[in-house]
Amino acid sequence: ETGVTQSPTHLIKTRGQQVTLRCSSQSGHNTVSWYQQALGQGPQFIFQYYREEENGRGNFPPRFSGLQFPNYSSELNVNALELDDSALYLCASTPMTRNTEAFFGQGTRLTVV
């Protein structure tokens, strides 16, 4: 089961810039979580949104922020980009009826130069 789409697929930004990544989850999935996956590592939980409110946050600074919209789509915003922000950013949605399962999109590869 998938149907989670992310855009763009690739992005190159300069250090200090701001970036917005987008995620569209499928019908019936009301919770969205964002993860950062550095090269060769497992995904790290950034934060989660439920009913347009932040519902938990990992060990990431406030310059990482997000939004969830009434149609359950979501955005991840990162301000003041640093070189270490270069990673694959993954969006995962969770169905209303199965509250532990997470289904991932293909990710956005962000490169900060």
Q: Which residues bind another protein (CB under 8 A)?
A: 1-2, 4, 6, 31-33, 35, 40-45, 48, 50, 55-56, 90, 92-94, 99-107
Here the tokens at position 24 are: 């569209």
Closest approach of another protein to the CB of residue 110, in Å: 14
Angle value at C-alpha 34, between 93 and 101, nearest 5 degrees: 35
Residue 54 to residues 12, 26, 81, Cα–Cα distance (Å): 27, 19, 22
Q: Pick between residue 107 and residue 112 the one whose CB is nearest to another protein.
A: 107
Q: Pick between residue 102 and residue 112 the one whose CB is nearest to another protein.
A: 102
Residue type, 108: T
Closest approach of another protein to the CB of residue 1, in Å: 8
Closest approach of another protein to the CB of residue 40, in Å: 8
Closest approach of another protein to the CB of residue 103, in Å: 7
Residue 90 to residues 30, 39, 108, Cα–Cα distance (Å): 16, 13, 7
